[in-house]
Amino acid sequence: MPEAQVDPLYKLRHSLAHVLAQAVTKLWPGTLITIGPPIETGCYYDFLFPQPISDADFGAIEKEMRKIINQGQTFRRDELSVTDAKKFWRERHQKFKVELIEDLEKNEKVETVTHYANIGPKGDETFVDLCRGGHVESFKEIPADCFKVMSLAGAYWRGDEKREQLMRVYLAAFPSKQELDAHLNMLEEAKRRDHRKVGKELDLFTFSDLVGSGLPLWTPRGTILRNQLDAFVWSLREAKGYMKVTIPHITKKELYETSGHWQKFSNELFRITTREGHEFAMKPMNCPHHTQIYACQKRSYRDLPQRYAETTTCYRDEQTGELHGLSRVRGFTQDDAHVFCRQIHVKQEILNIWEIVDTFYNAVGFGALKVRLSLSDPKAPEKYLGTPEMWNRAEGALREIALERKADFFESPGEAAFYGPKVDFITKDSIGREWQVATIQLDINMPERFDLSCVNEEGKDERIVMIHAAIMGSLERFLSIYIEHTFGLFPLWMAPTQIGLVPIADTHAAYAQKLEADLKAQGLRTQYFSHDESLGKRIRDGEKQKIPYLLVMGDKEIEAASVTVRNVKTKKQVTVPVSEFIEKTLSDVETRKLELSIG
């Protein structure tokens, strides 16, 4: 793409990656440079430093970058033959650049590559990088206060743990200081809401070194939260005709060889070898197992659609350095479902799933969802199973449904699963971050690989199609997003503890205990705060636990058969009859009301 057509923000961030690399190589001579792409919030660059660096060096890097920018340097584009380019980088002892050029020569059959040189005010060459372009015309276009060095992270060269351990320097970069400041403020708020911190404070989950990294353990409170969400998803699915199934957690490798997952994800599988020498794997996904439930008997067209649903744990051998709280784990629970149907059913089945997605995300308090149509990359057909004709038909069907739904959608080539295109739903959380959540995948390949069919009206075998549907997807990842979105202030219907009972003194305990028994009999989740501590401390403890309602009871409440209700969100208190409180609370739970209606 000509540089004039490149997005200005991409140009800014790409240019700053070059400035970052120039500053680093000036401050630490002998540093080996690798790659420095723009990313969503700025850019990063991976280096092999000759000595350790730390966040104490960030100020020096920023100072040197501003010095380079203030010089008003420009870029010069040079085109070199592959031979000359390799010679150029070998002479500078930059082995990673040589390797990149060799890969381009081998995989893309290029005969030339481009270099971009930073040119100083006197026409001197201050830095050179192997690059395809997309930069500002002059460094004067870059505001000197629009970026900030953010963090360091380890990164293996080419993502291969057997290769060199590099140091990745992250840079935040925005068109203006105001936008940068807004981003930094958002990051501070994100730290405050970090699900690992909030989850510990609310006693939702824990990790154990004896159990292993990336394997979360859910406490009673956290399990209530998971179960409430999962039960809601199941109620929506049950209404659409889904049936629950159950599968084992391990499988013979042949199942995944047939599905194509073994070849595609073999490095991510936990493998088990039996005493007899048979090779098994811990299941990383459920869809191949579900195909075997469908295939266990001959199906007539009258039996379709078959809709299977299951919430079950899967396992993937993620690298230790990539694990992060609940958002990246080795054991994760999927609310998974698969529909086996004919082509004539596809549209209605996807519309049904879409309706479930909308209902669920409205009920948990996310706003309107954007939709990404994740399509195949026409330039890399070798990455996908099936023929171009099959892909065109499947992608066209999803596009037609998105248009009919009048969805806010965009197309993203290259984001499809290897077995079919997807509808990915994207939400924005309360501090403005976007997350991909639910997904619907139209699978045109697995029925072919497992020879799944039905007997049609003419008595002939007809190839069926398969639809994958995840509403929360990984419950762990969804809850990492949701805990931060709500800051642990969960809606009443799903809160682990819905009501806290706070008698003012010993003389009010019997009244409070009788009320607690009545609330529990109605299926409400309660916690009794004994009068051993001061009233103020008990209220503060209830608020720290983010219990939606705290009921304070003293002489006046007993006399009037009432409770003083303290709303955790508003901190307001209002006194209402017990009967009214129970009626409103049960109604709010049943209707999954988002906001507390009392106080």
At position 426, the amino acid (one-letter code) is: I
CA–CA dist 370, 428 (Å, integer) = 9
DSSP 88-133: HHHHTT-HHHHHHHHHHHHHS--SEEEEEEEE-TTS-EEEEEE---
278 phi and psi, to 5 degrees? Answer: -80, 145
CA–CA dist 177, 183 (Å, integer) = 10
Query: Domain extents for the chain?
Result: 3-192, 197-248+284-486, 499-590
Distances 184 to 62, 174, 179, 431 between C-alpha atoms, Å: 16, 11, 9, 12
Other CB atoms within 10 Å distance of the CB of residue 236: 19
Mean pLDDT rounded to a whole number for the chain: 93
CA–CA dist 391, 393 (Å, integer) = 5
CA–CA dist 544, 565 (Å, integer) = 16
The three-state secondary structure class of 241 is: coil
CA–CA dist 316, 384 (Å, integer) = 21
The winner for highest mean pLDDT among 28-42, 263-277, 436-450 is 28-42
**Mean per-residue pLDDT for 240-248?**
97
Q: Report pLDDT digits (tens) over 394-416.
A: 888 889 888 988 889 998 888 88
Other CB atoms within 10 Å distance of the CB of residue 76: 13
Q: Report pLDDT digits (tens) over 106-142.
A: 888 989 999 999 998 888 889 999 999 889 988 889 9
458 phi and psi, to 5 degrees? Answer: -95, 5
**Mean per-residue pLDDT for 469-480?**
96
The winner for highest mean pLDDT among 193-202, 421-430, 437-446 is 193-202
CA–CA dist 10, 483 (Å, integer) = 32
The three-state secondary structure class of 393 is: helix
Task: Confirm if 397 and 442 have CB atoms less than 8 A apart.
Answer: yes
For residue 5, what pLDDT band results from cuts at 50, 70 and 90?
low
Distances 22 to 29, 57, 463 between C-alpha atoms, Å: 10, 15, 58
CA-closest candidate to residue 476, choices 171, 199, 126, 78: 199
**Mean per-residue pLDDT for 431-443?**
93
What is the dotted CATH code of the domain comprising 3-192?
A: 3.30.980.10
The three-state secondary structure class of 333 is: strand
Residue 341: both structure tokens together = 């149907």
* pLDDT value at 554 more than 50: yes
Quote the strand ranges of 58-108, DSSP E.
74-81
Distances 3 to 78, 132, 139 between C-alpha atoms, Å: 14, 10, 15
Across 266-304, b (16+ Cβ under 10 Å) vs e yields eeebeeeeeeeeeebbbbbbbbbbbbebbeeeebebeeb
Distances 595 to 345, 442, 495, 564, 598 between C-alpha atoms, Å: 38, 36, 12, 18, 9
For residue 3, what pLDDT band results from cuts at 50, 70 and 90?
low
Give me the residues paired with residue 313 across strands.
333
Stated length of the chain: 599
Distances 234 to 245, 363, 517 between C-alpha atoms, Å: 12, 14, 29
Question: Which DSSP symbol is given to 417?
Answer: B
Quote the strand ranges of 278-428, DSSP E.
279-282, 306-315, 331-341, 370-375, 409-413, 422-428
CA-closest candidate to residue 512, choices 494, 499, 496, 495: 499
Q: Report percent pLDDT > 70 for the chain.
A: 99
Enclosing H/E stretch for 473: strand 465-474
Name every residue whose Cβ is closer than 8 Å to that of residue 234 and which is 6 or more positions away in sequence.
Answer: 242, 244, 309, 311
Task: Confirm if 420 and 394 have CB atoms less than 8 A apart.
Answer: yes
Q: Report percent pLDDT > 90 for the chain.
A: 79
Check the CA dihedral 398-403-406-411 and report its sign.
positive
**Mean per-residue pLDDT for 362-380?**
88
CA–CA dist 69, 71 (Å, integer) = 5
**Mean per-residue pLDDT for 494-513?**
96
CA–CA dist 95, 87 (Å, integer) = 11
* pLDDT value at 593 more than 90: yes
CATH 3.20.20.70 fits 197-248+284-486, yes or no: no
Distances 233 to 95, 237, 311, 498 between C-alpha atoms, Å: 52, 6, 10, 20
Give the per-residue pLDDT at 46: 97
What strands lie across the sheet with 499-503, from one edge to the other? 526-528, 499-503, 549-553, 562-567, 573-577
* pLDDT value at 1 more than 60: no
The class (CATH top level) of 499-590 is alpha beta
Question: Which DSSP symbol is given to 216?
Answer: -
The three-state secondary structure class of 572 is: coil
434 phi and psi, to 5 degrees? Answer: -95, 140
414: left (phi over 0), alpha (psi -120 to 50) or beta: left
Q: To the nearest 5 percent, what fractions of the chain are helix, strand and coil? A: 40, 25, 30
Residues designated catalytic = 287, 316, 334, 336, 338, 422, 468
Residue ranges in 364-434 assigned as alpha helix (H): 388-404
Residue 294: both structure tokens together = 């469908």
For residue 589, what pLDDT band results from cuts at 50, 70 and 90?
very high
Residue 500: both structure tokens together = 């806290």
Span between the terminal Cα atoms of the chain, in Å: 58
CA–CA dist 531, 512 (Å, integer) = 11
Residue 591: both structure tokens together = 């209707």
* pLDDT value at 567 more than 70: yes
Enclosing H/E stretch for 32: strand 32-33
